[in-house]
């Protein structure tokens, strides 16, 4: 049990940290302020339990926190138990009914524990704690230990400051040397930047060709890219500056070499990572569903389900033909090492992830087109071509309920916590049911045909979208009323980690020099995009990491990973043939993509998004070192030749 729970908006974290340190210094209280989950962004079961058990709830009111529904949710518990102590750190008006309680005024507080306003806050907390059971001896000792530990930290900081002052003097002696090293590193980085621009530039006759084909078909261009990587690596090793890191990261972003690859016989339309990121599951093509242990680079299982059973094309219930089945014919349990597959027969099936052993079959009256696990892994939702949603208990293999929607469908979705299940039908409607009861919660009728839908992480909104839809519409749940719409069609919609940020994949139109397709970032409720990123071709697939912080997309020739908050592109993987599927690991560290290489071989590849060690990542991708002549040209003759990537084999690094 914590003495104090502090509720605040994440934008105020720095000021709240100073308040926490002062309270510990003054009284040694145990304080939960949850820097990992950042209150104000989510209010999950962990936070709910801590709030309910905390002896005192302190709310830090600011212009950000008064508008946060999550802060209000957290402090309501303290209000109801009469254990709430409010603090104001800037001019704002707390929401009703919390403004009725006198708040400690810390707007001008500078962090001292002797300030009258801070002492008044301490007194208010002590009055709340006094209404509860007195602390035991071990709790009093723990408080005293926290005070002592805080004093030791303060002393260490003071000693460190004194040592830093002495270090400044010593650094002055080395300033000229350091500046010279940084200048040389930045010069190498500038040369690497220039080479990268040469690689990106298209020559006469290449203007209308896909860039990846231009790159992969030209050995000289590939070698120039490797040379740029080596110069960027050399620059980063010499001095880790903002310039050298940006240069090396930009080169890694466009590197056409993955961390692991698997050549397969046929294209697939569905990719998924296992919960631990170790396996990639691929299906939805003419052949079997594959389970690939990508770290060991071996196929650990082949599953004769979830594909097209050897057919050259797939014909759905509406008569549409396709060379692949689609992305929803398999799903990996977020809880257990289990895969679910759909059809191509009237069954859904469960399989052991590592061995491919069949665990269970769920019989249906029509062809199964989609499967999706609830996040708990305890419930599986399936969809059939006749438009019936089925809900199954995974443990007992028992069908819990059916929800018919009346027309063919091949998309199904389960909301993040498993509260809702939704499907999209050919009648241009989306339907949302309560997963636990099967009760129809909402029928959504957008303007025109839609392809799929997306739940917001808080399950309060669902977005419907489609390439031929007139608008992308956001609906409130559970009622299903229109909340907001974007006057554009979309190939995909994802919510960012803050949920107010939304990324739209706009399909664009075909023009003489490509398309005007792009990703656009919107703030909920706005009528203009905040920023966008142009793409060379149509957006195909979109998927996010578990925390929604990273987003992977595909277009005709490129898989790309983005920072979902900022729109900054983190990594690319290029193909000369059409991409058919992408996936991102739950932790957002790796992404998987599948397409064709320059020799038209079909590959599945796994690539690290943002390596912690960019030097090691660069050396793992290049196939040679600088030659002595290149060293003299770019580095100079003032220092002897050495290998930038000494770990390469002699055959690889032969100058």
Are 458 and 450 within 8 A, CB to CB? no
Is the separation of the CB atoms in 290 and 609 below 8 Å?
A: no
Q: 523, 530 in Cβ contact below 8 A? A: yes
Can you give the pLDDT at residue 529?
Answer: 92
Residue 229: inside a domain? yes
The reply to whether 380 falls in a domain is no
Residues in a beta bridge with 423: 412, 431
Question: What's the confidence (pLDDT) of residue 598?
Answer: 76
Which of 134, 160, 195 is at the close of a domain?
134
The string of pLDDT tens digits covering residues 202-260 is 777 666 666 666 776 778 888 999 999 999 999 999 999 999 999 999 999 999 889 99
What does the block give as tokens for 99? 């403004």
520 band by pLDDT with thresholds 50, 70 and 90: very high
Residue 569 lies in a domain: no
Indicate the DSSP class of residue 634.
I
Across 567-571, average pLDDT: 95
Domain that holds residue 640: 176-254+628-653
The Cα 266–Cα 7 span in angstroms is 53
Contact 285, 268 (CB under 8 A): yes
49: enclosing H helix or E strand: helix 45-53
In a domain, 110, yes or no: yes
Whether the CB-CB separation of 270 and 284 falls below 8 Å is answered with yes
Q: What's the pLDDT band for 404 if we cut at 50, 70, 90?
A: very high
Residue 221 belongs to some domain of the structure = yes
**Highest-confidence range of 102-116, 270-284, 437-451, by mean pLDDT?**
270-284
pLDDT value at residue 41 = 46
Q: Is the pLDDT of residue 176 over 70?
A: no
Domain co-membership, 13 together with 127: yes
654: confidence class by pLDDT, cuts 50, 70, 90: very low
Nearest to 642 by CA among 234, 104, 78: 234
What average pLDDT does this structure show over 289-317?
Answer: 91
**Which of 195-199, 202-206, 607-611 is predicted least confidently?**
202-206
Give just the sign of the alpha carbon dihedral 7, 13, 14, 15: negative
On whether residue 202 sits in a domain, the answer given is yes
Minimum mean pLDDT range among 246-255, 405-414, 462-471, 568-577: 405-414
Report the length, in residues, of the chain.
655
If asked whether residues 43 and 110 sit together in one domain, one would say: yes
Give the Å distances, CA to CA, from 405 to 418, 427, 430, 480.
19, 9, 9, 16
Residue 626: count of CB within 10 angstroms of its CB: 25
pLDDT higher than 80, residue 577: no
Q: Which two tokens stand for residue 511?
A: 């023009």
Same domain, 121 and 210: no
Q: Are residues 130 and 8 in the same domain?
A: yes
511: pLDDT strictly greater than 60: no
Residues 73-83 have pLDDT tens digits of 888 888 888 89
The answer on pLDDT for 4 being more than 90 is: yes
pLDDT band at 43 (very low <50, low <70, confident <90, very high): low
**Confidence bin at 455 (pLDDT 50/70/90):** very high
Answer yes or no: do 107 and 196 share one domain.
no
Lowest mean pLDDT among 59-63, 145-149, 249-253, 486-490: 486-490
Look up the CATH number of the domain holding residue 92: 3.40.50.10140
User: pLDDT category, 42, cuts 50, 70, 90?
Assistant: low
Q: Greater confidence, 213 or 343?
A: 343
Instruction: Please state the domain count of the chain.
Output: 2
- Looking at per-residue pLDDT, the higher value among 173 and 4 belongs to 4
Say what the pLDDT of residue 571 is: 96
**Per-residue pLDDT, 40:** 45
Q: From the CB of residue 259, how many other CB atoms can be counted at a distance below 10 Å?
A: 16
Q: What is the per-residue pLDDT for 39?
A: 44
Distance CA 62, CA 513 (A): 50
Residue 172 has pLDDT above 80, yes or no: no
pLDDT attached to residue 158? 80
The string of pLDDT tens digits covering residues 344-397 is 999 999 999 999 999 999 999 999 999 999 999 999 999 999 889 999 999 999
Q: 42 and 103, same structural domain?
A: yes
Instruction: Report the candidate in 71, 68, 95 with the shortest Cα–Cα distance to residue 499.
Output: 68
Domain boundary residue among 109, 134, 159? 134
Same domain, 189 and 245: yes
* Mean predicted confidence (pLDDT) in 499-523: 79
Task: Extract the tokens encoding 528.
Answer: 């203009």
Please indicate, yes or no, whether residues 104 and 199 belong to a single structural domain of this protein. Answer: no
Element (H, E) at 150: helix 137-200
CA atoms within 13 A on the CB side of 59: 33
Average pLDDT, the chain: 89
What integer pLDDT is reported at residue 498 of this predicted model? 83
d(CA 345, CA 356): 18
**What's the confidence (pLDDT) of residue 515?**
62
Strand order in the sheet with 4-7: 31-32, 4-7, 56-61, 84-88, 104-105
Residues 104 and 205 in one domain: no
- Any domain includes 245: yes
pLDDT of residue 164: 77
* Interval 551-569 mean pLDDT: 92
123 and 184: one domain? no
Q: Tell me, what's the pLDDT at 521?
A: 95
Is residue 636, in this structure, part of any structural domain at all?
A: yes
pLDDT at 510: 57
Last residue of a domain, one of 77, 104, 134: 134
Q: Which of 27-31, 235-239, 484-488, 592-596 has the lowest mean pLDDT?
A: 484-488
pLDDT digits over 419-432, tens only?
999 999 888 899 99
Return the pLDDT at 476: 96
């Amino acid at each position: 049990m914590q003495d104090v729970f502090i509720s605040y908006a994440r934008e105020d974290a720095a000021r709240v940290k100073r308040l926490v340190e002062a309270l510990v210094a003054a009284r040694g209280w145990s304080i939960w302020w949850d820097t990992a989950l950042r209150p104000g962004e989510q209010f999950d079961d962990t936070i709910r339990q801590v709030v309910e058990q905390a002896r005192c709830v302190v709310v830090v009111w600011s212009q950000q926190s008064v508008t946060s529904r999550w802060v209000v949710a957290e402090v309501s518990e303290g209000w109801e138990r009469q254990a709430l102590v409010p603090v104001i750190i800037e001019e704002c008006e707390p929401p009703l009914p919390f403004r009725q309680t006198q708040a400690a005024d810390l707007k001008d507080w500078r962090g001292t524990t002797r300030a009258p306003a801070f002492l008044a806050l301490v007194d208010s907390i002590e009055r709340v704690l006094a209404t509860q059971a007195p602390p035991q001896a071990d709790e009093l000792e723990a408080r005293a230990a926290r005070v002592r530990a805080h004093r030791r930290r303060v002393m260490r900081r003071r000693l460190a400051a004194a040592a830093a002052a002495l270090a400044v003097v010593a650094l002055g002696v080395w300033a000229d040397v350091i500046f010279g090293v940084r200048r040389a590193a930045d010069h190498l980085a500038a040369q690497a930047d220039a080479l990268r621009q040469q690689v990106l530039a298209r020559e006469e006759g290449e203007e209308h060709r896909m860039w990846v084909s231009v790159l992969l078909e030209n050995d000289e261009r590939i070698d120039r890219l490797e040379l740029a990587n080596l110069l960027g690596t050399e620059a980063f090793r010499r001095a880790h500056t903002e310039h050298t890191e940006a240069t090396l990261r930009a080169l890694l972003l466009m590197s056409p070499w993955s961390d692991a690859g698997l050549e397969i016989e046929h294209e697939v339309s569905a990719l998924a990572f296992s919960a631990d990121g170790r396996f990639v599951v691929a299906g939805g093509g003419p052949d079997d569903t594959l389970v690939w242990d990508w770290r060991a680079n071996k196929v650990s299982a082949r599953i004769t389900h979830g594909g097209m059973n050897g057919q050259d094309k797939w014909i759905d219930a509406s008569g549409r033909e396709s060379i692949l089945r689609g992305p929803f014919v398999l799903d990996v349990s977020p809880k257990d090492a289990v895969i679910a597959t759909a059809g191509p027969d009237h069954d859904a099936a469960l399989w052991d992830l590592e061995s491919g052993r069949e665990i269970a079959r769920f019989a249906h009256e029509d062809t199964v087109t989609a499967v999706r696990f609830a996040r708990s892994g305890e419930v599986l939702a399936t969809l059939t071509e006749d438009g019936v949603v089925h809900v199954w208990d995974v443990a007992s293999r028992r069908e819990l309920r059916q929800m018919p929607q009346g027309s063919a469908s091949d998309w199904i979705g389960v909301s993040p916590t498993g509260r809702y299940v939704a499907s999209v039908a050919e009648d241009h409607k989306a339907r949302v049911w309560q997963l636990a009861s099967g009760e129809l919660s909402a029928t959504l009728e957008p303007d025109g045909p839609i392809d799929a839908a997306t739940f917001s992480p808080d399950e309060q909104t669902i977005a419907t979208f489609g390439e031929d839809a007139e608008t992308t519409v956001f609906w409130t749940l559970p009622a299903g009323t229109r909340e907001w719409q974007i006057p554009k069609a979309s190939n995909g919609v994802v919510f960012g980690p803050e949920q107010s940020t939304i990324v739209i994949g706009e399909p664009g139109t075909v023009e003489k020099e490509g398309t005007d397709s792009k990703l656009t970032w919107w703030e909920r409720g706005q009528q203009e995009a905040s920023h966008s990123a142009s793409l060379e071709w149509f957006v195909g697939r979109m998927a996010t990491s578990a925390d929604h912080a990273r987003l992977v997309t595909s277009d005709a020739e490129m898989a790309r990973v983005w920072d979902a908050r900022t729109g900054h592109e983190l990594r690319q993987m290029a193909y000369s043939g059409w991409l058919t599927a992408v996936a991102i690991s739950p932790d957002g560290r790796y992404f998987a993509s599948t397409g064709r290489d320059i020799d038209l071989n079909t590959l599945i590849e796994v690539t690290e998004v943002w390596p912690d060690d960019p030097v090691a990542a660069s050396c793992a991708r290049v196939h040679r070192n600088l030659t002595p002549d290149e060293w003299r040209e770019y580095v100079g003759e003032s220092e002897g030749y050495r290998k930038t990537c000494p770990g390469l084999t002699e055959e690889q690094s032969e100058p």
